[in-house]
Structure 1
Amino acid sequence: MHPARTQYPAGRGYLAACTLGLPAIATRDAVRADLERWATGTATAADYSASLERSRGHAATLLGTTPDRVATGSQVSVFTAVVAASAPAGAEVLCVDGDFSSMVAPFLARGELRVRHVPLDALADAVGPRTWLVAYSLVQSATGELADEASVARAARAAGALVMVDTTQATGWLPTDRLDADIVVCHAYKWLSAPRGAAFAAFSDRAIAELSPITAGWYSGTDPWASCYGPELHLSADARRFDVSPAWHAWAGAEPALAFAAGLDLDLVRAHDVGLANAFRARLGLEASDSAIVTWPDETGCELAALTAAGLVASGRAGRARVAFHLWNDEDDVELAADALAHRPAPLVVR
């Protein structure tokens, strides 16, 4: 059992970190305190901004960079749209077949980009001289597969292409502080267990220089409180130029969540999570993997229904049952899930 399990009193049988994380006690308390301050009229914009800046620092730690290279926002798709809007007309964007829509849709919506989709294991080999950007999720949402990010980075650098990586299904259980990428985006409501609406992204020098801050607003200046009104355009020189006006209440909970995650040894978290996932895979007769997410075919939904009937929280994606193991889980959760599937009714055979 990971020592952090005591911070998650509702963790037993919760196998859905890949869908929605559970708040730690400190995060729950922070959200409750924020609601009380708001209700009593004692919440202030200055306090929210200070919390956001502390969160920016924790996000920088998780992504292995400095706060001046981190932008804050509310959704991965918004950061992706910034990149898509900056692509030259006709540019080639290389994506993974079946990747999450937030990493694909903004490029398709441009209508004038050449968007190619290839299997995950063919991504590095598919990079060519026409590739402007390689965009992919480090861990695939539907399957839990991990990308070979080092190979992709080498191929992209050789071709002069930008690299964009979504770590929403990775940061929190997998170390993401050594990625070779120009844009790293993450929504913190899954493995980082923050409230939904708190997202962040790290930008390289090249990305800061070449991408257009199309979401610029009052929070994209060096000092947001001096950037509230026109007619001038107020843009920070660093990654803050890509900031989106913060969803204050989400960041009140995100600050303790990100602080907690940034203080963990994520190599040990990975060993814990993957160890439980592989123990479950063994019970199902599946090969071991390097992912904390386990998926298997479930076209009829019977597998997910059996887990749900046993009081477990799991999910289904793309015709597959999906479970995930994280800090609040232990060997008992593996046994509960395996037993639920062992006792599921036999599938109905129609002759």
Structure 2
Amino acid sequence: MLEHADRLDLGDRFAAGRGYLAACTLGLPADVTRDAVRRDLERWSTGSASAADYSATLERARVHAAALLGTEAERIATGSQVSVFAGLAAASAPAGAEILCIDGDFSSVVAPFLARGDLRVRHVPLDALADAITPSTWLVSYSLVQSATGEVADLATITAAARTAGALTLVDTTQATGWMPADAVEADLVVCHAYKWLGAPRGAAFASFSDRAITEFTPHTAGWYSGTDPWASCYGPELHLADGARRFEVSPAWHAWVGAEAALGFAASLDLESVRRHDLGLANAFRERLGLEASDSAIVTWPDETGCDLAALTVAGLVASGRAGRARVAFHLWNDDEDVARAADAVNGSRRPLVLS
């Protein structure tokens, strides 16, 4: 368990938080995000909101997203969902191409490739992913942190194997960005939805594209926001495409991005290595109290086929989740040692044998 010096003191930035162990399901907005959404609602309702202001907000969010992923703003495309970006990769794959996925990974980085119907999609265990990459692999698609188990992929080894084989890589950092640094993720397509660990409204996602991805992927979702200047590409008959990642952009959900800009800016202002230490310290303290081995993930899961442990957490007033026959909790900025104790007591209490008098 980490020393108290490694704990963050950010609980007052969130209206809720005590007992909330579901950052991996639906995050909580920080005060700046909540206030931004409220101001936007007021401006919209009074008719003082403008498209130009929303576009400026999106550009600020793009800069924050680039900082979180360790790249330049011109390599960032904004969108609504991870599966849309993955779908662009799937639609651009040659017929018969091999796509390598993790067995049991989140559907958004798997389903678009299966839906094509003419691709060879292979699924392997997480720890076998790097070794399964061959020269016939066109793209490796995987989540950096697994949603169902919380396992963290060996990014460096997988990236090196893909480079050697000449394969493209797609990495989903939705369950990573926000609790751990993701600015060193090297992939042809890095995708992230901001509504979990980043605490943004749902409907705001972003992705970074490598030069190869920009060249080889077709912008099938091209629209008026896919040009260098969206306000100059509102009408045909010409095709207006930006030179960089913006060509993969879709028209933004303005209200969601008002909250997302504030949320991403807040996250980008934090020392994410300190956040990682804080979150892992709590997660591993909880694991220790349940008799589980320490891990490198802020998501803790364990077998709970009957749902008894999840039910015990709920009865204790804690917000948790269940996935794939496992109970799942996550520790983030608003959590502290008291949350660890309450959660551990709830689970351990549900396992004590009933003593009849």
Shorter-chain TM band: over 0.9
- Per-residue CA distance 1:95-133 (angstroms, 9 max, x = gap): 000000000000000000000000000000000010000
Equivalences, count: 348
* Alignment match of 2:336 (pick from 325, 330, 336): 330
Displacement, 1:5?
2.0
How do 1:264-279 residues align onto structure 2 when only pairs under 5 Å count? 264-279=270-285
Q: Could you say which residue in structure 2 is the equivalent of 1:260? A: 266
Matches within 5 A, 1:131-146: 131-146=137-152
Q: Which residue number corresponds to residue 285 of structure 1?
A: 291
AA matched with 2:325: G
Could you tell me which residue of structure 1 aligns to residue 3 of structure 2?
none
Shift of 1:272: 0.3
Structure 1 residue aligned with 2:205: 199
Q: Deviations over 1:154-191 (max 9, x none)?
A: 10000100011000000001111011211000000000
**Which residue among 32, 43, 47 is the counterpart of 1:41?**
47
**Correspondence for 2:161:** 155
Task: Write the distance in 2 (CA, Å) between the matches of 1:218 and 1:44.
Answer: 17
Q: In structure 2, which of residues 87, 90, 96 is the aligned counterpart of residue 84 of structure 1?
A: 90
Equivalent residue letter for 2:48: T
Runs of 4+ in 1 over 6 A off after TM superposition: none
Residue 209 (structure 1) aligned to one of 207, 215, 219 = 215
Partner amino acid for 2:223? G
Query: 3-state DSSP class of the match of 1:303?
Result: helix
Which amino acid is the alignment partner of residue 117 of structure 1? Answer: H
Identity of aligned residues (%): 77
Residue by residue over 1:260-306, the C-alpha shift from the partner in whole angstroms, topping out at 9 and shown as x without a partner, is: 00011111100000110000000000000000000000001111000
Counterpart-to-counterpart distance in 2, 1:280 and 1:343: 14
> 1:342 Cα shift?
2.3
Which residue of 218, 224, 231 corresponds with 2:230? 224
Alignment pair present for 1:341 and 2:347: yes
Which runs of structure 2 are paired with 1:148-187 in the superposition (5 Å)?
148-187=154-193
- 1:9-24 alignment, distance < 5 Å: 9-24=15-30
What is the TM-score with the length of structure 1 in the denominator?
0.98
| Cα deviation 1:192-250 (Å, max 9, x = unaligned) | 00000000000011110110000100000000001111111100000000011100110
Counterpart of 2:64, as a letter, is H
Superposed displacement of residue 343, structure 1: 2.0
TM-score by length of 2: 0.96
Q: 1:249 aligns with which of 255, 260, 284?
A: 255
Return the letter of the residue paired with 2:340.
V
Structure 1 Cα separation of the partners of residues 152 and 233 of structure 2: 41
Counterpart residue number, 2:135: 129
Residues 347/88 of structure 1: CA separation in 2 closer, same or farther (3 Å cut): farther
What 5-or-longer segments of structure 2 have no aligned partner?
Answer: 1-6
**Partner Cα separation in structure 1 for residue 219 and residue 288 of structure 2:** 48
Give the aligned CA root-mean-square deviation in angstroms: 1.0
Q: Partner of 2:4 in structure 1?
A: none
1: distance between equivalents of 2:347 and 2:160?
Answer: 42
Structure 2 residue matching 1:144: 3-state secondary structure = coil
Deviation at 1:6, TM superposition (A): 1.6
**Cα separation, 1, equivalents of 2:353 and 2:49:** 55
